[in-house]
Amino acid sequence: MSSVTFITWLIVSLFFYSNEVASSSPAISVSAPIRVGSRSILRSIDKNKEEKEDYAVELNATNFDSVLKETPAAHAVVEFFAHWCPACRNYKPQYEKIAKIFNGADAVHPGMILLTRVDCALKINTNLCDKFSVGHYPTLLWGPPSKFVSGSWDPKQEKSEIRSIEDARTADLLLNWINKQMNSSYRLEDRKYENDLQKNASDIGQIARAVYDIEEATSTAFGIILDHKMIKSETKASLVKFFQLLVVHHPSRRCRKGTAELLVDFDNLLANKEIDSGERGEIRNYQICGKDVPRGYWMFCRGSKNETRGFSCGLWVLLHSLSVRVDDGESQLAFTTICDFIHNFFICEECRQHFYTMCSSVSTPFNKSRDFVLWLWQAHNKVNERLMKVEASLETDDPQFPKITWPPQQLCPSCYGTVRVDESRPIEWDLDEVHKFLINYYGKALVNLNKDKELTVERLVNLSDDAASSASVNALVVPVGAALAIAVASCAFGALACYWRQHQKSRKPRRSWN
């Protein structure tokens, strides 16, 4: 054997030996003598070190559009980089400082801005990076998430909502640039739950972000029902009725779609023996409002402490948003549907009983949607009044979001019949103005932010227009089964409403709860 052949054989043998050792011995001591192949060994050791969590969302050509389409954020930053680029590696810790502020369940200001990155060194992303004219690394682009979806960018374009971020080499510079664009005052030192929505009660536009909290509350409620095995033979009917209400009137298109898909398969998913035994079966695989919900954080309903607001707030907003979308013929059925749902599936016992008592006190059927909207508003204020006293005595209230009689005068001056000088005197409400306010607040204002991301129904209180729009406008994105469920649910809900009204005409008024 020649010396060259022998040396070649020796190098190859040592190479494979070192890789075998590295793969079979992940716990090799760092202090062990470094031999040939030590680079592979050290790489193996590095992999076992605790890696820092990345907060910026990694995107590629397969998920770029879907992630940016579904994000609740009003703004997005996309970093185009190459993993082999030293400058990009050095910039990553700076970018992560900003991403940590806005991304993830532990973010200081969640859902305001989505920070993402795309590795242009991967072949799968070549065309994507070309579409956005990436000529150097790192390249940072800023704009509304919807503008990135199926979009492109050319630096020569004069009128484009996507902009290049220049001079952002440090976290401070990038955050300063963002603050200038948003007229905000975010800081690297901000602590969790220190800032956010609803501080200014007179800003009606803040409710727009609650559409994402409604999605969160809907998905969370469904998860609670499954986790606590609450679907029984005796509760199944009330859950189906509530799902039908969501399919037709939920403010979020994807929640309407997801609920419709679930409703189509509901009977097959819940065989009688599974219901009686409390088993969840395949139903646990259904994501009622989309694959990224629940997200783990709240926006409009976010409290200043972890244990305040959140789910209960989101559920109230959901109920109000449903109430303003039903027609006169559905109002009584919607009322009993919501009352039954809370009675069967809300696991806070004291709250459930209190709501049950309020439902039971209604002796006359709701023939007008206006009456149902105002009843739910009054019920919510009764709950707030009760909790005001309890939380004040136990010091469990949220200091930044105390319970109040709602809406406050600065948010709806016309709702108050007279100027309220003495706080101890009862409020003289102008109920017509309160009704107008509720329709606008939980209707048009609530979905305003989402107009660019989903096809919304213009007429919020007309059942037939809402159902027809849901079936036709979304025909390209809703599966056949889901579209069928929407149609069936709409017809069933309307038919039951008509039946209820005819039934009520032939008998004396009675209590709604049996």
Name the residues annotated as catalytic. Answer: 85, 88
The helix or strand, by DSSP H or E, that contains position 49, with its residue range, turns out to be none
113-119 vs 163-164, strand pairing mode: unpaired
Cβ neighbour number for residue 25 with a 10 Å cutoff: 12
In angstroms, the Cα distances linking 413 to 264, 409, 417, 430 are 45, 5, 9, 10
d(CA 454, CA 457): 10
Long-range contacts from 301-306, C-beta under 8 angstroms, 24+ separation: 301/210, 301/213, 301/217, 302/110, 302/193, 302/196, 302/197, 303/193, 303/398, 303/400, 303/401, 304/193, 304/194, 304/398, 304/399, 304/400, 304/401, 305/193, 305/398, 306/193
d(CA 28, CA 30): 6
User: What number of CA atoms fall less than 13 Å from residue 71's CA on the CB side?
Assistant: 30
Helices (H), 324-368: 331-345, 349-360
Cβ neighbour number for residue 396 with a 10 Å cutoff: 12
Contact call for residues 243 and 286 (beta carbons, < 8 A): no
Q: Which amino acid is at 429?
A: W
List the beta bridge partners of residue 429: 416
The helix or strand, by DSSP H or E, that contains position 8, with its residue range, turns out to be helix 3-24
CA R_g for the chain: 28
Locate tokens 């990553």: which residue?
92
d(CA 111, CA 299): 7
Residue (of 323, 362, 360, 316) closest to 245 by Cα position:
323
Contact call for residues 43 and 34 (beta carbons, < 8 A): no
In angstroms, the Cα distances linking 472 to 468, 477, 494 are 6, 10, 18
Locate tokens 């100027």: which residue?
419
In angstroms, the Cα distances linking 102 to 39, 56, 482 are 37, 9, 34
- Judging by beta carbons within 10 Å of its beta carbon (0-12, 13-18, 19+), is residue 323 exposed, middle or buried? buried
